[in-house]
Amino acid sequence: MFTDPVKNLKALGLRENMIVADLGAGSGYYSLPLSKIVSMGKVYAIEIQKDYLTTLINKIKEDHIKNIECLLGDVEKIGGTKLKDNIVDAVIASNIFFQIENKDKFINETKRILKPNGKLLLIDWSQSSHIIGSSLNDIISKNKVQEMFEKKGFKKERDIDAGEHHYGIILIKS
């Protein structure tokens, strides 16, 4: 296993009644454990690929999970998540930032949906990783990510240990 979603989520300090958006949810690597952590809250699993969303929906039905809402959405467009302004306490973005073409719009959409002082947990590939189908040119350093988000009004809370091939950073919407 490259990175441990439960360990990473615990670093965020989530509470059981929080509302969290998992951007680029895929087949639920973070959404499923999130649903247990925020058991009295809600998880919005946002994904642009229908096949991944179908897989996640089937897992949710199979496990009788009631607090995950799956949304077909584009995280690179303002309003693309289909969520209201200032609605989520936290955002999870794992292994997607390196492949996002319009990073400014992604940052703006993340900022739009986060409540004031809401937190973003961003996990992505480190320079030491070898991403299948991608090159090291696609990888963006943690420092560059931090700089990009700070220009848009975020402040760094702290780094987290996200495993050998990843970096993790927690940013706060200020």
Q: pTM of the prediction?
A: 0.93
Number of helices followed by number of strands (H, E) in the chain = 5, 7
Q: Examine the pLDDT at 108 and tell me if it is beyond 80.
A: yes
Residue 133: pLDDT band with limits 50, 70, 90:
very low
- Domain 5-173: CATH architecture, name and number where available: 3-Layer(aba) Sandwich (3.40)
The CA distance from 38 to 50, in Å, is 25
Per-residue confidence (pLDDT) for residue 160, from 0 to 100: 96
The two three-digit tokens of residue 163, written as one number: 């495993």
Alpha-carbon span 29 to 7, nearest angstrom: 12
Q: Which of 56-60, 73-77, 128-132, 140-144 has the lowest mean pLDDT?
A: 128-132
- pLDDT value at residue 1: 47
* Cα end-to-end span (Å), the chain: 34
pLDDT digits (tens, 9 = 90+) for 26-54: 999 999 999 999 999 999 999 999 999 99
Amino acid at the residue 94: S
- Please report, to the nearest 10 degrees, the dihedral formed by the alpha carbons of residues 53, 55, 58, 59 taken in order: -110
Q: Indicate if the alpha-carbon torsion angle 167, 89, 52, 76 is positive or negative.
A: negative
- Residue 2: its pLDDT value, please? 72
Query: Which range (47-61, 77-91, 133-147) has the least confidence?
Result: 133-147
Q: What percent of the chain shows pLDDT beyond 70?
A: 94
Q: What is the DSSP letter of 136?
A: G
Give the residue extent of every domain in the chain.
Answer: 5-173
Spatial CA neighbour of 110 closest among 154, 144, 72, 143: 154
